[in-house]
Amino acid sequence: MDLPNIETYLRPKNLQTINNWDKDWAWLAGGTWLFSEPQPQLRVLVDMQFLDWSEIKIQEENLLIGATCPLIKILQYSWQSEWTAIAGLKSAISVLAASLKVINMATVGGNLCLALSVGTLAPIMIALGAKYEIWNLQGEARLVAAEDFQIGSRQTILQPSEVLRRVLIPIETLKWRVNYQRFGIAATDPALAIVVSAYNPENLQFKCVIGASVPAPKLLDCHHININYSPFLKNIEFINNPKASATYRREITQTLIKRSLHQLQLTNTHA
Ligand SMILES: Cc1cc2nc3c(=O)[nH]c(=O)nc-3n(C[C@H](O)[C@H](O)[C@H](O)COP(=O)(O)OP(=O)(O)OC[C@H]3O[C@@H](n4cnc5c(N)ncnc54)[C@H](O)[C@@H]3O)c2cc1C
């Protein structure tokens, strides 16, 4: 949709040319969200397209994915076959397949920074032990663990004018087995619950992250695949709204964890 209140559109080639950032400015990545509803609070859009931040590459111990990497690139990229966790990453993106337009245009950074409670990438980034590199306009960088980035629905720790530059995923965790589970009333409905489980068969290390049923994705404090996970859900405050009650979301989350564990163990048995 048109955003008639936008007065200025910038297309910087680097951050140093951006001055006087104000509260009515916003980064523009794929624009799939920004142009999907009125944004009366905004006057200036800063298009990230020319920053050239869409890389996928290996650097030292990490896979780097640039913030403006379109989601479709992750589906189509020629990944190393031993990186079993990529299947989970692809699943997280494929669930958006209801809207091809979104997958083609939307970016990794846009999905993470939008920070919807139903956000599809955040839970898997947490399960993979990802870190996010955040830049300010002076070009200074800081690293934040994925689990500390989103602090609520539509809330991140980004300060005004800060930008997510890229995601760093340890190569080691790319060799883990990852299972992505999502439940919505219909395939095109927003998720009511997401569960991502990640398992390292070499040392039995295990991680389980829940999303969509809670305002921000949450890493459960259980580290073994055979543990009884129910107590970990008891003290969590699940979203309670007209779409689904907290009790229902907790139950669905438990069911998805069970399914996820089952599939990971099956995969492991057949390995
Ligand atoms: C019809 C529809 C259905 C959708 N369903 C789902 C769903 O089920 N699950 C899901 O996860 N998502 C869903 N989305 C959201 C979709 O994934 C987002 O539109 C998309 O991820 C945003 O990416 P973008 O690159 O287009 O971001 P934009 O629309 O360009 O930006 C989104 C927000 O992030 C900010 N931003 C973008 N990049 C950065 C950055 N690098 N640093 C700092 N801030 C940044 C922008 O300023 C803006 O506030 C849906 C969207 C639509 C339109």
Amino acid identity at 42 = L
- For residue 1, being part of any structural domain is answered with no
The answer to whether 240 touches 220, Cβ cutoff 8 Å, is: no
CA 265 to ligand 1 centroid distance, Å: 33
Q: What is the pLDDT of residue 268?
A: 46
- For 151, other C-beta atoms within 10 Å of its C-beta total 11
User: How do residues 214-239 score in pLDDT, each as one tens digit?
Assistant: 999 999 987 776 677 788 898 899 99
Query: What's the gap in Å between 106 CA and the centre of ligand 1?
Result: 6
* Shared domain check, 185 and 165: no
118 domain-assigned: yes
The string of pLDDT tens digits covering residues 160-206 is 999 999 999 999 999 999 999 999 998 788 999 999 999 998 888 89
Domain span at residue 21 reads 8-46
Counting ligand 1 atoms within 8 A of each CB, the residue from 102, 112, 132 with the most, and so the one to mutate, is 102
- Domain count within the chain: 3
Residue 98 pLDDT more than 70? no
One domain for residues 187 and 265: yes
Closest among 150, 57, 59 to 109, alpha carbons compared: 150
The finding on whether 156 has its CB within 6 A of some atom of ligand 1 is no
Structure confidence by residue, pLDDT tens digits, 14-32: 999 999 999 999 999 999 9
Q: What are the CB-based long-range contacts (under 8 Å, 24+) for 69-76?
A: 69/107, 69/108, 69/109, 70/30, 70/103, 70/104, 70/105, 70/106, 70/107, 70/108, 71/96, 71/102, 71/103, 71/104, 71/106, 71/107, 71/108, 71/111, 72/103, 72/104, 74/108, 75/103
Residue 257 in tokens: 């964890």
Sign of CA dihedral 148, 154, 160, 166: positive
pLDDT at site 97? 62
Whether residues 74 and 128 share a domain: the answer is yes
Centroid of ligand 1 to alpha carbon of 18 (angstroms): 22
Ligand 1: atom nearest CA of 113 is 34
Ligand 1 centroid–CA 20 distance in Å is 24
Measured at the CA of 168, the angle between CA 167 and CA 172, to 5 degrees, comes to: 145
Whether 106 lines ligand 1, by a CB cut-off of 6 Å, is: yes
Q: Is 184 contained in some domain?
A: yes
Residue 244 pLDDT > 90: yes
Atom of ligand 1 nearest to the CA of 29: 30
Same domain, 62 and 168: yes
| Model confidence pLDDT, tens digit, residues 260-270 | 999 987 444 43
Three-state DSSP state, 1: coil
Q: Is the CB of 99 under 6 A from ligand 1?
A: yes
User: In angstroms, what is the span from residue 28 Cα to ligand 1's centroid?
Assistant: 10
